[in-house]
Amino acid sequence: MNEGRREIIQLVFVLVGLIFLVKLFFIQVLDNKYAELADSNAILRQVEYPFRGLITDRHGKLIVYNTPEYDLTAIVKDIKNFDSTKFCQVFELSREDLRLKFKEMKKRKEYSPVKPTLFIDQLSNLDFARVQDRLDEFSGFYIESRTTRAYTTSALANALGYVSELSKDQLERDEKTFYRQGDYIGQSGIESYYEEQLRGKRGVRFKLRNVKGVEKGSFKNGAYDTLAIPGQDLVSGIDLDLQQYGELLMKGKSGSIAAIEPSSGEVLALVSGPSYDPNLLTGSKYSSNFRLISNDTLKPLFNRPLMAQYRPGSIFKIAQAMTALQEKVITPETRFRCDKSLIGCHAGHDNQDLRGAIANSCNPYFLGVLRKMLNKGVSNSPFEDTRIGLAEWNKHINSFGFGSNLGIDLPNEKGGLIPTPAYYDQAYDNRPWKFSNIYSIAIGEGENLVVPIQMANFAAIIANRGYYYTPHLIKAIGKDGKPLPKYIERHYTTIDSSYFRIAVDAMQQVVESGTGQYRARLADIIVCGKTGTVQNDPLPAHSVFIAFAPRDNPKIAISVYVEDAGQGARAAASIASLMIEKYLLGKTKRQFIEDYVLAGKFLDQKN
Amino acid sequence: MRREDDISVKLDWTTILLFVALVTLGWLNIFAAIYDETADQTIWDLSLSSGRQLMFIAAAAVIVIMIIIIDMRFYETFAYLFYGLILVLLFLVPLIGKEVGGNKAWIGVGSFGVQPSEFAKFITALAVAKYIGSVGFRMDNLRNQAVLFALIGVPIILIQLQKDTGTALVFTSFVLVFYREGMSPFLLIVGVCAATIFVLTLLIPNPLYLHAAIAIILILLISFGKKKFKRIAILVIGALLISGVIVSVDYVVNNVLKPHQQNRVKVLVNPDIDPLGVGWNVTQSKIAIGSGGLNGKGFLRGTQTKFDFVPKQSTDFIFCTIGEEFGWIGSLVVIGLFVALLLRVIFLAERQKSRFARAYGYSVACILFFHFAINISMTVGLFPVIGIPLPFFSYGGSSLWGFTILLFVLLKLDAHRSQVLQRV
């Protein structure tokens, strides 16, 4: 009656064993999912953030450095006996804030009750010191540190730029997948342009941890770990004292100062007014401050030396003169009557040669120069003749670095505009145009647009008698000690060096006896300069001045552009000469000029 | 002394070798489960589970010697007395016992605690075997059957009172013994069907679908078979019974089971419902075993068991350590050893001359099988998490001694099988 029952039971035993082995074969051998899950369970990938490179000025003074910043994270599973009243008191939160913080945390994508999740970001140094001692009263809360940027100065904000968490767009555009969500990245200025040099290389440490997240030593004795490599330090050409002085002078004004060392193209100062304190855009107040600054109607984030495209005004006359000399349509001795029928002029001169016309900024003279330049009679048609002349003119003017981006080591540089025949074809809707339609470009008005850094570069070209190095802020990268290769290349203009002597003479005359004599002249240094007063109806004109000094072996070339400040001989000439004085002598002796600039009442007086 | 009288020769050394292999592997794995690389530890350390398990093993060896020394007739003779005593103890446990891990299953003697329920398995096996082996016992006699079910039913109830469902369930394995001794397979078939319906009820969220399916099958069976009244009546009653089972399962799962038991059952069907909460045990256990791969991570190299991701890793989830550190090959060895032991025990049982010894042998096999099957099923997610140990492997004195006594009493009986007059 019980035949075969033994076998049935034996079969059941063997069958169950086989089922186990098959099931185990599936989860152990065939399915890799579990091995990966085990790794993510037990192996903690700890990112070591590298130190971002430091930035110093040309004399080694520290400008940008790193300071530790502390985030408070929480592992919700480990929070026990939470005393919310005490927590609020220690962290200076209201009950509502605390509730919000928990809500925010749980909404985060990376949120998990068993893993550390960001709870309060960027506790300041001060908060950290206070909180540190009391942290053990709150189980489940941990401090994580990383570094944030800090600045020794409130100057140079727009040139330095700022660093902030990279945006979703930036993360998507990062094709080399260097960055991860939550990483910091240079967002503008040097921080952005030299991001690759500054950022360094992240290190990774793999650590074993137990179910509570407690570390249990390194994974495979650190075989897969990499050390963080700090970013490269940058030495800028900026003279921090000069920069700060420039910012002082530009206080309450709109405009820019750009100063360059002509012999190297290193930028000595780059002032944008109005500006902001770069320390506002670091740490926990970044978001709220950024909103404030970016909504400011004075546009402090607008980097005027690079981005503001202005008509150059009378400083452009020097470029006209050089072009005309090169094309041999005039000689230094060529004279034009100061005929005010087409274009106005200042009193006090009548029939001058080239040097005199530059010194007195004679408008009709340069109208005459441009007419000769554009209408050389190579074609019988005045239209065609102008077209040919304009193309030649454009080529020369462009060789001064006008009309396109110079290639400075900052993002968002604008190129300005130097009109071409094609430009006027479009502007006149392909109807014919000739000299009489476009003559206002003769005196730097009309369609011409330049940015202040181009004006400073122009001053450097004259200082160098015909060549320039592309202006750049960073003169040395890391241990290498060299700037980017493109900044050691010399660029020549299309003008013979010998013609520049005439420009230098004339610019010396501007300061010694011409339009700039009252405020730009220095006792011990021969300053060469040129004023500009750019029409800005109905508002007051923009005040412009370019200069370099000393005349021989120049050390500084500068452009100053002050919006709505009237004549170039007033605001701009004063500021430029003070900057030169400060840079070359270390201090300024002319207190009355400084007071005049700081008072800022350039339109009040008759002068 | 004649060579045939030498007990060491008559003992079945195959079984003993399998036993020693399992106990040794278990001991090593207990050390692996609690091993902490950063601490300076040895497997002998008495402050660790591994050191204590070694003490338990030593005590088990003493027990083995005592079992072999004691006269073989002792066990059968006093089976009912032991049974009565253990029932008293089981009854007393909820009153005087101490609570360990949510179950009040321990009786303390000083700092030393034992679980009477672990020994109840052995004693019930003796009692059941004695009853089956008694003169005039007939499996087809309803009264005899009733007594048998009472013999296993009383301990089930008493142990369930201690809220130790896992151990209580172990006693259902005796049904397989009854089957071997001649009970109609009807009960087993019904049991398997009930289990299938039970799982289906859990898998299918709305029981209405199941009822509908049963109704359709019923209509099909009636219309395509002989249309005899008796047959139709049986089919209708059967269908009603099945529907009743579904309703009651639904009711039991949602209303009778405590929330933690409900969750254990629901997690079985879908372990992903709450991987951090209820599903944690099963999920982590599967991760640990699954991450072992073919060859495993190596002895003491497991990360999941070591760093406490798997709960109860040295007791109920000890198999995770094997799976993680020794991989599929290690699992194959362990499962192979268990199946070999089970088959060997059946072989021993079948060669007994007395019905008592054979029934006892089958009891040993079935109890071991139940533990083995349920424990590994739960670690690989084939069965709800029920806290029963893996024989010889899991940490703990009571469980090791219980299984050792269970097995070696059989070896003792087997050694003297030729001295027994055949009664069947």
Is it the case that residue A219 has pLDDT exceeding 80? no
Ranking A110-114, A200-204, B57-61, B72-76 by mean pLDDT, the lowest is: A110-114
Ranking A249-253, A392-396, B48-52 by mean pLDDT, the lowest is: B48-52
Domain stop point among B201, B235, B256 = B256
Higher pLDDT, B303 or A360: A360
pLDDT of B382-407, one tens digit each? 887 778 899 999 998 889 999 999 99
Q: Looking up tokens 């969500």, which residue turns up?
A: A181
Joined together, the tokens standing for residue A431 give 């109807």
Residue B266 belongs to some domain of the structure:
no
The amino acid sitting at B102 is G
pLDDT of B199-245, one tens digit each? 777 767 677 888 888 888 888 888 887 778 888 888 888 888 888 88
What does the alpha-carbon distance between residue A261 and residue A456 come to, in Å, rounded to a whole number? 10
Whether A5 and B179 lie within 8 Å, measured CB to CB: yes
Indicate the SS3 state at residue B111: coil
Domain stop point among B211, B241, B256 = B256
User: What separation in angstroms does the CA of A199 have from each of A53, A194, A568?
Assistant: 7, 8, 42
Whether A216 and B37 lie within 8 Å, measured CB to CB: yes
**Helix, strand, coil percentages in chain A from 3-state DSSP, rounded to 5:** 40, 20, 40
User: What separation in angstroms does the CA of B416 have from each of A471, B351, B370?
Assistant: 106, 11, 27
Residue B272 belongs to some domain of the structure:
no
Cβ-nearest to A114 among B176, B276, B324: B276
pLDDT value of residue B224:
81
Q: Residue A137 — pLDDT band, cuts 50, 70, 90?
A: confident
Is it the case that residue A386 has pLDDT exceeding 80? yes
In angstroms, how far is CA A480 from the centroid of its own chain? 23
Structural domains in chain A plus CATH codes = 240-289+304-599 (3.40.710.10)
Pick from B328, B297, B331, B49: nearest CA to A43? B297
Window 207-266 of A: residues touching B by CB (8 A cutoff) are 208-212, 216-217
Which class for B257: exposed (0-12), middle (13-18), buried (19 or more C-beta within 10 A)? Answer: middle
Could you tell me if B346 and A10 are in contact, meaning their C-beta atoms sit under 8 angstroms apart?
Answer: yes
Same domain, B359 and B409: yes
Residue B285 belongs to some domain of the structure:
no
Whether A16 and B373 lie within 8 Å, measured CB to CB: yes
Is it the case that residue A91 has pLDDT exceeding 90? no
Strands annotated E in A49-171:
55-56, 62-74, 117-123, 141-151, 163-165
Residue B271 belongs to some domain of the structure:
no
In angstroms, how far is CA A347 from the centroid of its own chain? 42
What does the alpha-carbon distance between residue A217 and residue A205 come to, in Å, rounded to a whole number? 11
ipTM of the complex: 0.87
Residue stretches of chain B with pLDDT short of 70? 1-5, 37-38, 97-106, 108-113, 203, 205, 264, 267-279, 421-424
Q: Is B292 on the interface with A (CB under 8 A)?
A: yes
What does the alpha-carbon distance between residue A128 and residue A124 come to, in Å, rounded to a whole number? 6
pLDDT of A140-168, one tens digit each? 788 777 778 889 999 999 999 999 888 88
Which class for A2: exposed (0-12), middle (13-18), buried (19 or more C-beta within 10 A)? Answer: exposed
Same domain, B108 and B226: no
Domain count, chain B: 2
Residue B305 belongs to some domain of the structure:
yes
Q: Report the predicted TM-score, pTM, of the whole model to 2 decimal places.
A: 0.62
What does the alpha-carbon distance between residue A178 and residue A186 come to, in Å, rounded to a whole number? 14
Same domain, B8 and B137: yes
Same domain, B159 and B102: yes
pLDDT value of residue A216:
67
Best mutation target among B35, B140, B272, B291 (most A Cβ atoms within 10 Å) is: B291
Domain stop point among B234, B256, B278 = B256
Same domain, B336 and B356: yes
Pick from A298, A301, A306, A303: nearest CA to A290? A301
The phi, psi pair for B153, rounded to 5°, reads -70, -40
pLDDT value of residue A130:
79
Task: Show residues of chain A in contact with B313, CB under 8 Å.
Answer: none
Is it the case that residue A513 has pLDDT exceeding 70? yes
Residue-number span of the structural domain to which B175 is assigned = 3-182+291-419
Same domain, B220 and B247: yes
Window 354-413 of B: residues touching A by CB (8 A cutoff) are 362, 365, 369, 372-373, 376-377, 380, 382
Residue B277 belongs to some domain of the structure:
no
Pick from A485, A340, A493, A479: nearest CA to A407? A485
Same domain, B123 and B165: yes
pLDDT value of residue A468:
96
Same domain, B103 and B11: yes
Same domain, B238 and B101: no
End-to-end CA distance of chain B: 31
pLDDT of A514-566, one tens digit each? 776 778 888 889 999 999 989 888 889 999 999 999 999 999 999 999 999 98
Cβ-nearest to A10 among B306, B328, B346: B346
A5 to chain B: closest CA residue: B180
Whether B331 and A41 lie within 8 Å, measured CB to CB: no
Same domain, B44 and B144: yes
Residue B31 belongs to some domain of the structure:
yes
User: What separation in angstroms does the CA of A456 have from each of A548, B251, B297?
Assistant: 9, 88, 69
pLDDT value of residue A220:
65
Same domain, B207 and B331: no
Same domain, B332 and B365: yes
